[in-house]
């Protein structure tokens, strides 16, 4: 898929490309996210559920992980707990992405150690800004 | 029969009785000792040597005159269910142990009245005991053919009497608490009752059928004797009135005699035993009396003209025929009759003596300061000495006074004396106005008249009409002739005395009670006695008392008699009963009454009151106030009952409400969860639509292919959203019953084929094999085809989604039985856990553990399937009968479910 998407050649030589891992089981949402972040010069990795995500994380060290909560097999919360156990991933920023917008859900997400909790439906433009903010700090 | 031989037989007999008493004591609560027959038979202590010997004497001399003594009880016994039950309840609740306690408690717990009743009882009963001893002595001498010696030390009965006194004093005082049951004595008395009846029947049968040839034979031979007719009629009006009074006398006696009060009331364990007694006791009396007439007239026939004492015919007849064994048997029967009376009466009298005379007027003060053991020892010792002395006193009276009178006459005198208690006693039960002064006055006056008209003449030995005193009255005053007071001359001495004594007794009792109202304490007890049924459950509530009292003070007093442990236990029972905190220091009226009750068994009601009163400070309380409090407490009892009933109902309702509430809460939670999941599900396609739209809007350089893809996403997600909304609405309609289904007979195999065709693309995409063997068959069932297609479609979608990736296989089978058709859809690959079999049909099924799992599909499909199938009156479920994969089965009826079968 990544071959469809253009990249700006200038940015390639000056900085290292930021890596982002998108974990969500909805293909259409993944498609939109993938396009957006590739357009913004990210190297995009995709996992469809927590299990796949953890497998990818064994080899890669993304700067940001966008994590959906409701997934089959291993859900977002469990995945985050696993991530937090791994010292290598300590500097990864994690953004929860969920349609669950109750206070207790947001609190739970943040307590588990997410850096940000974004509620669906979201604005792709805003999400990119939030990701940049997170990485710069 | 030699004296020594007879003594040995007696000793053996006593030993057997001793053993029975001992054995009964050991057996706690066994049905042998706690049953209604033992109780009813123990009441037969009413029949003493008087019945055994005396009746025969009366029958031989004055015909049917022996009957009234038994008619009285038989007539009054039907009232036992009411009256006796009432007395038993009052006595149980107040721990009353004697008739003196009963009367004195009712009239204000007054010790003087208790002492007076005790003296009356002793005066009445000790002569009676004396006559029992006389009968033992006389019959002993007849059987051994010896003379009674004027030197008491040579007379064997002296020693028998001493032995008896020792036995009674030992066994009668096993327990300090006089209101505790004496199983041993009661059982022994019941045994004796059986024995005396049996022996009497034996001698009766012997005389009637062996000496003579039956009742007719005796009647024939007797009727030729002189005065036969005269003796065997009632005797006209005078005779009738005499009979009447004798009946009344015995009616009273059956309640008032101390031995009767003791066996029927104090020793009663269960109110229901009264029912047995009510038929067994009259039966006993009747049986006893069958052979009195034959024996009496048989004796008259055999011994006419010899002038023998007809009391002893039952011994003389077998002796006449040299039947030694029978003679001894008869003697033993009479002996039993006598000693059961002596033992029970002396115990009852000694209890009264100790509780109502010795302790209240004697050493109650010193009991306060001693330890429990010392106190109890003293009390028991006083009772032991009491019993012993009373029996010895009776013996002395017998030697001094009663050498010549007939048994019956002494017995009747005794009855008349006891009858003086009748107005106060029955007034206690039914008349609230009866007062202490009235009772005392009545009893004193009645007793006085008794003495004048009966006791004095008998004691002075001037009962025959040769005495001047009898003939002309004291100082010649004709109206005061002892046997014809105020000119009443057609009554025999006994009924005469009864009439006048009771007349003045009742008059004084009523007049004084009405003129001098009792104090509040009497009024309180009056209420508690007359209305016992109202107060019985919480009788302590009915006790009115005002003042200052401390629990610790009263506790100390209680410990002097009950000991520390029993006191503690009693207190905790009290606190539990009235729901009182055990740390409360002050004592209220209920506690006072409770404490008095506990002591009553040991030392009598009067002494208990004295002791408790000595450690508390009572305030004066006026009669109107008492009446007011009693009214209030009566109302309270009624309100309490209503409250308890209402509270029970409320409890029931509250339980029901709790259950209903839990249901609602559950449903509420379910609804919340449902709403949560629905919004989440709806937001997911919206998220995809929004993201794609935003990209297309903001980015100008989206490549053509990508743009097409995104627009396609928007379309398909919009469709998805729409379908979801449809499903939710569908489900809602099913659940609220608004959904219509159109049933008709259809071919289920065809329906399956149709549905398979619609998912053909998906099947081919995943390269799944489908096995449907029943394709092309005609299998009829009754259903709405559109809906069932929906169901099969859902199940197939699931099967496709979860079948194995590499060699997916879906197999479908249709089976039929008489009432329905079953469709089974199986896919290999992912199976379903056993514990989830039911849960997957829930809306937005979530598995049991807390992790949030994404539902299969939208999560609603299976829920809708279940609703559809159930609306068809079918069933749908999951199975795991194959090793791997999932199996779903649903059934549809093959008959028309809308028609009534």
pLDDT tens digits for range B49-104: 888 888 888 888 877 778 888 889 999 999 988 999 999 999 888 888 899 999 99
Greater pLDDT, B574 or A128: A128
Contacts of B710 in chain A (CB under 8 A): 31-32, 35
Best mutation target, A28, A36, A71, to test chain B (most B CBs within 10 A): A28
A1 contact B CB<8A: no
Tell me the pLDDT of chain B averaged across its residues.
83
Contact B694, A123 (CB under 8 A): yes
Confidence at B278, pLDDT banded by 50, 70, 90: very high
Query: How far apart are the C-alpha atoms of A33 and A68, rounded to whole Å?
Result: 12
Question: What DSSP string runs through B632-649?
Answer: HHHHHHHHHHHHHHHHHH
Q: What is the pLDDT of residue B822?
A: 93
Whether the per-residue pLDDT at B512 is higher than 70: the answer is yes
Query: How far apart are the C-alpha atoms of B474 and B268, rounded to whole Å?
Result: 48
- Distance in Å, alpha carbon of A34 to nearest chain B alpha carbon: 11
ipTM: 0.86
B220 contact A CB<8A: no
Query: How far apart are the C-alpha atoms of B890 and B839, rounded to whole Å?
Result: 16
Shortest CB distance from A99 goes to which of B683, B698, B717?
B683
pLDDT tens digits for range B229-251: 666 666 677 778 888 888 999 99
Q: What is the pLDDT of residue B403?
A: 56
Interface of B with A in 244-283 (CB under 8 A): none
Lowest pLDDT segment from A118-127, B300-309, B503-512: B300-309
Q: What is the pLDDT of residue A101?
A: 81
Query: How far apart are the C-alpha atoms of B653 and B644, rounded to whole Å?
Result: 14
Omega prior to A121 cis, within 30 of 0: yes
Shortest CB distance from A28 goes to which of B698, B717, B851?
B717
Lowest pLDDT segment from B118-122, B470-474, B783-787, B882-886: B470-474
Best mutation target, B703, B720, B854, to test chain A (most A CBs within 10 A): B854
Contacts of B692 in chain A (CB under 8 A): 28, 31-32
**Mean pLDDT over residues B173-179, rounded?**
60
Q: What is the pLDDT of residue B901?
A: 45
Confidence at B385, pLDDT banded by 50, 70, 90: confident
Cβ contacts below 8 Å, chain A against chain B, sum to 81
Q: What is the pLDDT of residue B469?
A: 61
Whether the per-residue pLDDT at B46 is higher than 60: the answer is yes
pLDDT tens digits for range B814-837: 998 888 899 999 988 877 777 778
**Cβ contact, residue pair A32, B692, below 8 Å:** yes
B700 contact A CB<8A: no
E strands, B459-531, where? 480-481, 484-485
Lowest pLDDT segment from A85-89, B273-277, B683-687: A85-89
pLDDT tens digits for range B784-815: 999 999 999 999 988 888 888 788 889 999 99
Q: What is the pLDDT of residue B598?
A: 85
Cβ atoms within 10 Å of B639's Cβ, excluding its own: 11
Residue B895, both tokens: 């008959």
**Mean pLDDT over residues B658-680, rounded?**
83
Whether the per-residue pLDDT at B472 is higher than 80: the answer is no
A123 contact B CB<8A: yes
Whether the per-residue pLDDT at B24 is higher than 80: the answer is no
Confidence at B463, pLDDT banded by 50, 70, 90: low
Angle between helical axes of B407-419 and B111-144 (0-180°, round to 10): 170
pTM of the model: 0.62
Contact B304, B61 (CB under 8 A): no
- Strand order across the beta sheet in which B809-816 lies: B769-772, B809-816, B820-827, B886-893, B875-879
Query: How far apart are the C-alpha atoms of B441 and B155, rounded to whole Å?
Result: 43
Contact B253, B419 (CB under 8 A): yes
Question: What DSSP string runs through B550-615?
Answer: BHHHHHHHHHHHHHHHHHHHHHHHHHHHHT--TT--B--HHHHHHHHHHHHHHHHHHHHHHHHHHH
**Mean pLDDT over residues B583-587, rounded?**
82
Shortest CB distance from A120 goes to which of B684, B703, B709?
B684
Query: How far apart are the C-alpha atoms of B822 and B774, rounded to whole Å?
Result: 12
B223 contact A CB<8A: no
Greater pLDDT, B466 or B592: B592
pLDDT tens digits for range B728-743: 888 888 877 777 888 8
A42 contact B CB<8A: no
pLDDT tens digits for range B118-129: 999 999 999 889
Confidence at B325, pLDDT banded by 50, 70, 90: confident
Whether the per-residue pLDDT at B591 is higher than 80: the answer is yes
Bridge-partner residues for B814, per DSSP? B823
pLDDT tens digits for range B393-436: 888 888 777 656 666 678 888 899 999 999 999 999 999 888 89
Whether the per-residue pLDDT at B858 is higher than 60: the answer is no
A36 contact B CB<8A: yes
Best mutation target, A99, A100, A109, A125, to test chain B (most B CBs within 10 A): A99
Contacts of A5 in chain B (CB under 8 A): 706
Confidence at B851, pLDDT banded by 50, 70, 90: very low
Q: What is the pLDDT of residue B118?
A: 94
Helix (H, G, I), strand (E, B) or coil at B89: helix
Best mutation target, B721, B852, B855, to test chain A (most A CBs within 10 A): B852
Shortest CB distance from A120 goes to which of B687, B694, B705?
B687
Contact B759, B800 (CB under 8 A): yes
Q: What is the pLDDT of residue B264?
A: 92
**Mean pLDDT over residues B705-727, rounded?**
90
**Cβ contact, residue pair B687, A125, below 8 Å:** no
Instruction: Tell me the C-alpha to C-alpha distance, in Å, between residue A124 and each of A30, A105, A127, A131.
Output: 12, 22, 5, 10
Q: What is the pLDDT of residue B850?
A: 34
**Cβ contact, residue pair A29, B676, below 8 Å:** no
Query: How far apart are the C-alpha atoms of A11 and A14, rounded to whole Å?
Result: 5
Query: How far apart are the C-alpha atoms of B366 and B603, rounded to whole Å?
Result: 13
Find, among B380, B399, B307, B338, the residue nearest to B135 by Cα: B338
**Mean pLDDT over residues B552-569, rounded?**
85
Q: What is the pLDDT of residue B408?
A: 67
- pLDDT, one tens digit for every residue, chain A (137 residues): 444 555 555 444 556 788 999 999 889 999 999 999 999 999 999 998 888 898 998 898 899 999 998 887 778 888 888 888 888 888 889 999 988 888 888 888 888 888 999 999 999 999 999 999 988 87
Find, among B448, B488, B483, the residue nearest to B241 by Cα: B488
Query: How far apart are the C-alpha atoms of B133 and B375, rounded to whole Å?
Result: 33
State percent of chain B over pLDDT 70: 88
- Distance in Å, alpha carbon of B734 to nearest chain A alpha carbon: 27
Query: How far apart are the C-alpha atoms of B180 and B92, rounded to whole Å?
Result: 10
């Amino acid at each position: 898929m990544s071959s469809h998407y253009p990249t700006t050649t200038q940015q390639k030589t000056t900085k290292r490309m930021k890596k982002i891992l998108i974990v969500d089981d909805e293909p259409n949402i993944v498609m939109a996210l993938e396009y957006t972040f590739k357009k913004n010069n990210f190297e995009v990795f995709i996992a469809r559920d927590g299990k796949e995500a953890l497998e990818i994380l064994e080899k890669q060290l993304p700067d940001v992980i966008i994590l959906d909560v409701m997934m089959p097999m291993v859900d977002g919360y469990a995945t985050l707990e696993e991530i937090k156990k791994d010292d290598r991933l300590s500097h990864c920023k994690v953004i929860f992405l969920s349609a669950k917008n109750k206070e207790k859900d947001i609190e739970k997400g943040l307590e588990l150690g997410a850096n940000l909790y974004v509620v669906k439906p979201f604005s792709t433009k805003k999400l990119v800004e939030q990701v940049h903010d997170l990485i710069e700090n | 029969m030699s004296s020594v031989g007879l003594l040995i037989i007696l000793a053996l007999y006593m030993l057997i009785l001793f053993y029975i008493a001992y054995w009964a004591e050991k057996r706690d609560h066994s049905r042998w000792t706690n049953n209604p027959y033992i109780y009813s038979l123990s009441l037969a202590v009413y029949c003493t040597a008087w019945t055994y010997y005396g009746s025969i004497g009366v029958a031989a001399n004055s015909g049917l005159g022996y009957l009234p003594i038994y008619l009285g009880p038989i007539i009054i016994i039907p009232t036992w269910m009411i009256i006796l039950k009432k007395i038993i309840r009052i006595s149980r609740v107040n721990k009353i142990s004697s008739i003196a306690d009963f009367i004195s408690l009712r009239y204000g717990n007054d010790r003087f009245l208790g002492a007076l009743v005790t003296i009356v009882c002793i005066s009445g009963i000790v002569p009676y005991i004396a006559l029992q001893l006389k009968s033992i002595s006389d019959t002993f001498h007849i059987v051994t053919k010896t003379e009674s010696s004027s030197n008491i030390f040579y007379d064997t009965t002296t020693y028998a009497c001493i032995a008896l006194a020792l036995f009674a004093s030992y066994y009668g005082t096993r327990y300090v608490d006089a209101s505790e049951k004496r199983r041993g004595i009661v059982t022994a008395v019941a045994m004796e009752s059986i024995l005396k009846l049996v022996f009497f029947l034996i001698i009766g049968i012997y005389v009637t059928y062996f000496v003579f040839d039956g009742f007719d034979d005796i009647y024939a031979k007797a009727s030729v004797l002189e005065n036969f007719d005269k003796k065997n009629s009632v005797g006209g009006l005078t005779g009738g009135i005499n009979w009447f009074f004798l009946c009344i006398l015995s009616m009273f006696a059956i309640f008032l005699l101390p031995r009767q009060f003791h066996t029927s009331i104090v020793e009663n364990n269960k109110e229901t035993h009264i029912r047995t007694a009510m038929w067994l006791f009259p039966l006993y009396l009747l049986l006893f009396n069958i052979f009195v007439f034959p024996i009496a007239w048989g004796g008259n026939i055999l011994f006419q003209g010899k002038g023998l004492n007809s009391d002893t015919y039952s011994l003389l007849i077998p002796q006449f025929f040299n039947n030694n064994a029978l003679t001894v048997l008869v003697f033993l029967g009479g002996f039993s009759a006598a000693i059961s009376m002596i033992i029970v009466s002396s115990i009852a009298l000694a209890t009264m003596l100790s509780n109502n005379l010795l302790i209240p007027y004697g050493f109650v003060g010193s009991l306060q300061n001693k330890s429990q053991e010392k106190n109890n020892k003293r009390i028991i010792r006083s009772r032991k000495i009491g019993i012993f002395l009373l029996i010895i006193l009776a013996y002395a009276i017998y030697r001094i006074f009663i050498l010549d009178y007939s048994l019956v006459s002494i017995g009747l005198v005794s009855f008349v004396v006891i009858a003086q208690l009748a107005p106060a006693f029955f007034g206690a039960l039914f008349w609230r106005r009866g007062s202490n002064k009235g009772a005392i006055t009545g009893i004193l006056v009645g007793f006085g008249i008794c003495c004048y008209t009966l006791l004095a003449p008998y004691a002075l030995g001037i009962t025959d009409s040769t005495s001047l005193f009898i003939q002309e009255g004291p100082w010649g005053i004709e109206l005061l002739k002892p046997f014809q007071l105020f000119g009443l001359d057609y009554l025999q001495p006994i009924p005469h005395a009864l009439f006048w004594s009771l007349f003045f007794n009742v008059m004084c009792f009523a007049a004084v009670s009405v003129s001098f109202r009792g104090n509040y304490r009497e009024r309180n007890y009056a209420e508690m006695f007359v209305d016992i049924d109202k107060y019985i459950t919480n009788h302590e509530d009915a006790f009115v008392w005002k003042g200052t009292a401390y629990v610790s003070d009263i506790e100390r007093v209680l410990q002097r008699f009950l000991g520390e442990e029993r006191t503690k236990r009693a207190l905790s029972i009290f606190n539990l009963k009235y729901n009182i905190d055990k740390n409360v220091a002050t004592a209220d009226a209920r506690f006072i009454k409770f404490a008095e009750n506990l002591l009553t068994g040991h030392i009598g009601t009067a002494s208990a009151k004295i002791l408790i009163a000595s450690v508390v400070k009572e305030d004066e309380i006026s009669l109107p106030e008492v009446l007011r409090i009693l009214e209030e407490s009566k109302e309270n009892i009624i309100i309490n009952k209503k409250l308890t009933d209402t509270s029970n109902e409320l409890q029931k309702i509250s339980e029901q409400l709790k259950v209903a509430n839990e249901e609602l809460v559950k449903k509420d939670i379910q609804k919340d969860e449902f709403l949560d999941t629905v919004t989440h599900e709806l937001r997911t396609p919206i998220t995809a639509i929004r993201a794609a739209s935003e990209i297309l809007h903001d980015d100008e350089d989206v490549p053509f292919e990508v743009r097409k893809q995104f627009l396609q996403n928007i379309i398909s997600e919009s469709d998805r959203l729409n379908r979801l909304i449809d499903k939710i609405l569908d489900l809602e309609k099913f659940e609220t019953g608004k959904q219509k289904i159109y049933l008709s007979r259809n071919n289920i195999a065809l329906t399956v084929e149709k549905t398979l065709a619609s998912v053909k693309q998906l099947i081919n995409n995943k390269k799944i094999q489908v096995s449907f063997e029943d394709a092309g068959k005609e299998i009829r069932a009754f259903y709405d085809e559109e809906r069932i297609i929906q169901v099969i479609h859902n199940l197939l979608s699931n099967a496709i989604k979860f079948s194995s990736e590499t060699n997916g296989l879906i197999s479908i089978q249709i089976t039929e039985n008489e009432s329905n058709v079953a469709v089974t859809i199986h896919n290999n690959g992912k199976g379903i856990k056993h514990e989830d079999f039911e849960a997957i049909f829930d809306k937005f099924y979530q598995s049991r553990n807390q992790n949030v799992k994404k539902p299969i599909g939208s999560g609603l499909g299976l829920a809708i399937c279940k609703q559809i199938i159930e609306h068809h009156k079918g069933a749908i479920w999951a199975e795991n009968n194959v090793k791997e994969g999932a199996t779903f089965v649903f059934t549809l009826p093959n008959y028309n479910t809308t028609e009534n079968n």
